[in-house]
Amino acid sequence: MNQTDKKSVKVNWQGKVVSIQPRTRVWRYLIDNRTHYHIGYNLFLADEEDAGKTFSVAISEKQLAKGLFRVGDILKGTAWTKIYKQREFADYYRVGSIEIISRESRKSEKLPPPWIITVPSLQIYEERGARQLSKSRWNTKCFQCIWANMANVEVQWDFDRNIKKYRFESFCYGPKSCKFYTMGKPRPVSYKNLGPVHDEGWLDDICTERRGEDE
pTM for the full model? 0.92
| Boundaries of every domain in the chain | 13-103+110-207
Residue-wise pLDDT for 77-96, tens only, equals 999 999 999 999 999 999 99
> Rounded to 5 degrees, what are φ and ψ at 67?
-90, -20
CA distance 91 to 81: 7
pLDDT category at 6 given cuts 50, 70, 90 is low
Rounded to the nearest angstrom, the gap between the alpha carbon of residue 134 and the centroid of all alpha carbons in its chain is 13
* Distance from C-alpha of 107 to C-alpha of 109, rounded to nearest angstrom: 6
Q: CB under 8 Å to 124, separation ≥6 — which residues?
A: none
Q: Average of pLDDT values for 26-34? A: 92
pLDDT for the residue 2: 36
| Average pLDDT over every residue of 38-54 | 91
pLDDT (0 to 100) of residue 195: 80
Task: Give the start-end residues of each E strand in 115-186.
Answer: 131-132, 148-158, 163-172
What was the pLDDT predicted at 108? 53
